[in-house]
């Protein structure tokens, strides 16, 4: 209980952390209640009302607060629905990246030598591919869709988790603390679980938060290029891509979806930064 108060106090003191937290919670709530709060069905096309500007602009209607797209679909509803999609994909992707990363990092750190070298080389090879190229490469090979986007997220994101876990394990493995336990007869496996894992939890949480933001961006980028989720699912990236044809007549279609992406990523990053400062200030998150 005391810890909760302490966390809360620290969060409130950091203005950016607080704003980030509020943004995240807002989007989470919106995503969770999306089926209830959307004013219209995101898929409902009313061609009569197509390309309406936002309610405050000339020609807008108050029934469509943010206007409509080229097929008469209400923009606000689609944005709300899109938050569900984005956050869902982000969570799945981050989880996948974390799992793969922790596993490989643990193997590399614990067994060291050959295993470590091989995994290290794989990291190097992977880092030689620019991120976006890697992403579309994979999508082109395996197809688009949620499962494959999660795969892309896992492949492009595991390295940071692996590095941290490997580092922690290696430093603890050699520490006198562990040597003392070993000399007293403690078993290796238990050592890992009881002593190493708790140390790993904080940096992993921080990296996972920051990775979440990256996955949101990645999914949006892929959807923008037409290589993300299936066409009929409204995601912010795809909405942006579609808006290109209507920039002259309906700029609101370009502004708002991108704004959503930007806000979510900003919020998660702000919160992630505060989280890092609170849990593990020495963590290098700039790799």
Partner 1 sequence: MSRYIVKRMLQSVIVLLGVTAVVFFALNLTGDPVTFMFPIDTPIEVLEEYRATSGMNDPKLIQYGRFLWGALHGDFGTSHYYNQPAMQVVLERLPATFLLAFTAFLLALVIAIPTGILSAVKRNSVLDSIVRFFSMLGQCVPIFWLGLLLMLLFSVKLKWLPTIGSGTWKHLIMPTLTLAPGTAASITRLLRSGMLDVLGQDYIMVARAKGIHNGPLILKHAFKNSLSSVLTVLGLQLASLMGGSLITENIFAWPGVGQLMYNSILNRDFMVVEAGVCLIASFFVFVNLAVDILYAVINPRVRFE
CA 239 – CA 234 distance, rounded (Å): 7
Is 254 one of the binding residues for partner 1 (CB under 8 A)? yes
How many Cβ atoms are within 10 Å of 135's Cβ, its own excluded?
Answer: 23
CA 153 – CA 149 distance, rounded (Å): 6
E-assigned strand segments in 161-261? none
Return the structure tokens found at 247: 């920039």
* Min separation Cβ 271 and partner 1, Å: 11
Is 128 one of the binding residues for partner 1 (CB under 8 A)? yes
Q: Report the residue from 132, 180, 201, 231 that binds partner 1 according to the rule CB under 8 A.
A: 132
Is 66 one of the binding residues for partner 1 (CB under 8 A)? no
Contact 69, 50 (CB under 8 A): yes
Is 156 one of the binding residues for partner 1 (CB under 8 A)? no
Which one, of 215, 214, 261, 209, lies nearest residue 235 by Cα?
261
Q: Which is nearer to partner 1, 138 or 200 (CB)?
A: 138
Task: List 68's β-bridge partners, or say none.
Answer: 74
Is 278 one of the binding residues for partner 1 (CB under 8 A)? no
The stretch near partner 1 (CB under 8 A) out of 39-47, 161-169, 181-189, 255-263 is 255-263
Is 114 one of the binding residues for partner 1 (CB under 8 A)? no
Q: Sketch the per residue contact string, 224 through 253, with partner 1: x for CB under 8 A, - otherwise.
A: xx-----------x--xx-xx--xx--x--
Q: Is 170 exposed, middle or buried (0-12, 13-18, 19+ CB in 10 A)?
A: middle
**Residue ranges binding partner 1 (CB under 8 A):** 16, 121-122, 124-125, 127-133, 136-137, 140-142, 213, 217, 220-221, 224-225, 237, 240-241, 243-244, 247-248, 251, 254-255, 257-259, 261-262, 265-266, 269-270, 273, 286
């Amino acid at each position: 209980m005391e810890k909760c108060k302490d966390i809360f106090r620290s969060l409130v003191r950091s203005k950016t952390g607080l704003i980030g937290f509020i943004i995240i919670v807002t989007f989470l709530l919106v995503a969770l209640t999306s089926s209830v709060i959307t004013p219209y069905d995101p898929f409902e096309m009313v061609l009569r009302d197509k390309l309406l500007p936002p309610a405050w602009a000339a020609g807008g209607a108050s029934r469509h607060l943010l206007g409509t797209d080229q097929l008469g679909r209400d923009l606000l509803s689609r944005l709300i629905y899109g938050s569900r999609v984005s956050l869902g994909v982000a969570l799945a992707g981050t989880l996948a990246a974390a799992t793969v990363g922790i596993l490989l990092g643990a193997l590399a750190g614990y067994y060291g030598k050959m295993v470590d070298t091989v995994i290290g080389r794989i990291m190097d090879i992977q880092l030689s591919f620019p991120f976006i190229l890697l992403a579309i490469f994979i999508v082109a090979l395996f197809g688009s869709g949620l499962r494959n986007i999660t795969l892309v997220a896992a492949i492009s994101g595991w390295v940071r988790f692996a590095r941290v876990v490997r580092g922690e394990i290696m430093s603890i493995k050699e520490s006198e603390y562990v040597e003392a336990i070993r000399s007293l007869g403690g078993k290796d496996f238990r050592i890992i679980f009881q002593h190493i894992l708790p140390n790993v939890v904080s940096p992993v949480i921080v990296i996972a938060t920051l990775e979440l933001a990256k996955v949101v961006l990645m999914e949006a980028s892929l959807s923008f290029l037409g290589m993300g989720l299936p066409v009929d699912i409204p995601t912010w990236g795809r909405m942006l891509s579609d808006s290109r044809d209507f920039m002259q007549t309906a700029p609101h279609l370009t502004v708002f979806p991108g704004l959503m992406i930007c806000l979510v990523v900003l919020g998660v990053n702000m919160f992630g930064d505060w989280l890092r400062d609170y849990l593990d200030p020495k963590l290098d998150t700039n790799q």
